[in-house]
């Protein structure tokens, strides 16, 4: 197969689901939310950052988050997912790539994203070294359907475009 020019953009997608449980902290896109429940996970359970890392790694042809940071490794227990982003971006930089744009959909009944959207965009822009006007985040409810609609889980879906650094 002929190689394509490095300049051509690469698209990636990441999807992450976490169960919600009372008494868990809630950090989404690296921003702490004041809630009485949060995502269950081996790390801090930040579904947005997990999906974003998977999208970026996918676009770069670098496998996935689970192979970089095993959820069976005690060293990753309770870990801030922002650290996963740092390592993801280090590997992407090694390949001379950068994030050109990122679009996020977070499906959850609660918490409402609106009060935190600006902060979430800013944090994603910082973590993935992309201008804030090239990051977007949308909140959707599950319309009372399935596990998300019943408030049992949340799902983040992220699409990114990578280009040359
Ligand atoms: Mg996850």
Q: What is the pTM of this model?
A: 0.95
- Interval between CA 39 and ligand 1 midpoint (Å): 9
The DSSP result for the chain, as a single string, is: -PPPPTTS-EEEEEEEEEEEEET--EEETTEEE--SEEE--SS---HHHHHHHHHHHHHTT---HHHHS-TT-GGGTT--THHHHHHHHHHHHHTTEEEEEEEEEEE-SSS-SGGGHHHHHHHHHHHTT--GGGEEEEEE--TT-HHHHTTSEEEEEEEEEEEE-
| pLDDT at residue 1 tops 80 | no
- Interval between CA 67 and ligand 1 midpoint (Å): 12
- The pLDDT value given to residue 75: 83
Predicted confidence (pLDDT) per residue in 107-127, tens digit: 999 999 999 999 999 999 999
Q: What domains can you pick out in the chain, each with its CATH number?
A: 10-164 (3.30.1330.50)
């Amino acid at each position: 197969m002929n190689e394509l020019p490095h300049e051509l953009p690469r698209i990636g997608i990441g999807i992450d689901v976490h169960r919600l449980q009372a008494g868990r902290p809630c950090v989404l896109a690296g921003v702490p939310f004041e809630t009485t429940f949060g995502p269950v996970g081996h790390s801090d359970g930040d579904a947005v950052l997990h999906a974003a890392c998977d999208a970026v790694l996918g676009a770069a042809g670098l496998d996935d988050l689970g192979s970089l940071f095993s959820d069976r490794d005690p060293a990753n227990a309770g870990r801030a997912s922002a650290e996963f982003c740092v390592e993801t971006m280090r590997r992407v930089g090694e390949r001379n790539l950068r994030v050109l744009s990122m679009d996020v959909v977070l499906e959850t009944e609660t918490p409402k994203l609106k009060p935190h959207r600006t902060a979430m965009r800013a944090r994603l822009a910082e973590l993935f070294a992309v201008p804030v006007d090239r990051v977007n985040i949308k909140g959707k409810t599950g319309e009372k359907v399935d596990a998300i609609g019943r408030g049992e889980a949340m799902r983040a879906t992220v699409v990114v475009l990578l280009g040359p650094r």
